[in-house]
């Protein structure tokens, strides 16, 4: 069992904890959040400090996962990601045992794949991504760093989602779609613009 520290104590953290507990290969050692929340517990796991304390826990034995949510902007997650990179921290890759990830797919560091998600063959997922509950990433699609694929979203084959993008719940990306950097695809939207072919 590896030591794991979470960064961000909001609602997304709650969902991440459930996935991590189901995985069974990490011990959650503590959570970093706002100063006023230090000492509080989330599902029995204590908030032990703020972002300013992260450096004190960097070691070869400790892993980190950013559990800040990403709805309006990815910037808070990116700030912490850059801090962790600067500190040479180990970034965990978390895959729910209820998810399916093809052995021919690639996942970047700091990415979490939530319950009942499916990532098919030759898909590539970047670093610091959230692949949320019941989402589908089809074959040969590429999702760049710092993206959030929301609950129930469908990314069909050969799509490219550029970095810092948000794909809303139950949205559908037509095969071969290109989603530009920093895009927000609204919930329930059928996206077919900017085709690669």
**Segment 90-143, tens digit of pLDDT:** 999 999 999 999 999 999 999 999 999 999 999 999 999 999 999 999 999 999
C-alpha neighbours within 13 Å on the C-beta side of residue 171: 21
Local structure of 86: helix, strand or coil:
helix
Domains in the chain (CATH in brackets) are 2-92 (3.40.50.20), 94-197 (2.160.10.10)
Distance of alpha carbon 27 from alpha carbon 8, whole angstroms: 17
Supply the pLDDT for residue 193. 72
Whether the pLDDT of residue 196 is over 60: the answer is no
Whether the pLDDT of residue 182 is over 90: the answer is yes
Distance of alpha carbon 189 from alpha carbon 88, whole angstroms: 39
Q: Give 192's pLDDT tier (boundaries 50, 70, 90).
A: confident
Q: Which residue has the tokens 């991440």?
A: 16
Q: Which residues contact 20 (CB under 8 A, 6 or more apart)?
A: 4, 26, 28, 65, 94
Distance of alpha carbon 126 from alpha carbon 101, whole angstroms: 14
Torsion of CA 57, 63, 67, 72, to 10 degrees: 90
Q: Which residues contact 87 (CB under 8 A, 6 or more apart)?
A: 54, 55, 58
Local structure of 69: helix, strand or coil:
coil
C-alpha neighbours within 13 Å on the C-beta side of residue 34: 6
Whether the pLDDT of residue 150 is over 60: the answer is yes
Task: Give the tens place of pLDDT for each residue, 13-49.
Answer: 999 999 999 998 999 999 999 999 999 999 999 999 9
Q: Give 197's pLDDT tier (boundaries 50, 70, 90).
A: very low
Nearest to 65 by CA among 148, 119, 127, 124: 127
């Amino acid at each position: 069992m590896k030591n794991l520290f979470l960064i961000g104590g909001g609602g997304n953290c709650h969902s991440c904890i459930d996935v991590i507990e189901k995985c069974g290969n990490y011990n959650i050692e503590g959570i970093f959040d706002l100063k006023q929340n230090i000492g509080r517990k989330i599902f029995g796991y204590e908030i032990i400090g703020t972002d300013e304390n992260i450096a004190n826990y960097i070691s070869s034995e400790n892993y980190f996962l950013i559990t800040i949510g990403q709805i309006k902007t990815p910037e808070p997650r990116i700030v912490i990601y850059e801090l962790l990179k600067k500190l040479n921290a180990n970034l965990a890759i978390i895959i729910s045992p209820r998810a399916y990830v093809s052995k021919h797919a690639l996942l970047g560091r700091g990415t979490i794949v939530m319950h009942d998600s499916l990532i098919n063959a030759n898909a590539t997922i970047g670093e610091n991504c959230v692949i949320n509950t019941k989402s589908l990433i089809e074959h040969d699609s590429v999702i760049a760093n710092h993206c959030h694929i929301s609950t129930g979203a469908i990314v069909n084959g050969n799509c490219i989602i550029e970095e810092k993008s948000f794909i809303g719940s139950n949205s559908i990306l037509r095969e071969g779609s290109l989603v530009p950097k920093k895009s927000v695809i609204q919930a329930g939207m059928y996206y077919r613009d900017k085709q690669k072919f």
